[in-house]
Amino acid sequence: MSNFQEPKKQFEIPTEVFMDFLMTNGYLGKMKMFDVIELSKEDGYVRIPNLPTLTKEMILASLCSTKLSFTDLEEYLDNIVVMKSLIDLGIETPPLHKK
């Protein structure tokens, strides 16, 4: 038996997926893009680093100005996986518009 443990893979998701999650939760408004992407909502805004992928720490920092939690994001990602599985099995049809 070995004492070696594989390092835990760091959580990362594409920024586009995180932006979709925020937009699904009402953060639409005007989008400003520089070093930081800013999405607004009537009761606040969220700033996202303008990078191809985001770590858990970056996401948590972005979510601190919202009423959303990391658990909300995880549930959103789980739903995407389930919908993709249903589409792959032919049980559900894909959305009419593609990104």
- pLDDT reported for residue 71: 95
The separation between CA 58 and the C-alpha centre of its own chain, rounded to angstroms, equals 11
Burial of residue 34 (number of CB atoms within 10 Å: 0-12, 13-18, 19+): exposed
Q: Per the structure block, which two tokens stand in for 62?
A: 């972005």
The secondary structure of 2-28 as a DSSP string is ----PPPPPPEEEHHHHHHHHHHTT-E
CA dist., res. 93 & res. 1, Å (int): 48
3-state SS class at 14:
strand
Q: What is the pLDDT of residues 4-54, one digit of tens each?
A: 666 667 889 999 999 999 999 998 866 666 788 888 888 888 999 989 999
Least confident residue range of 4-18, 51-65, 84-98 = 84-98
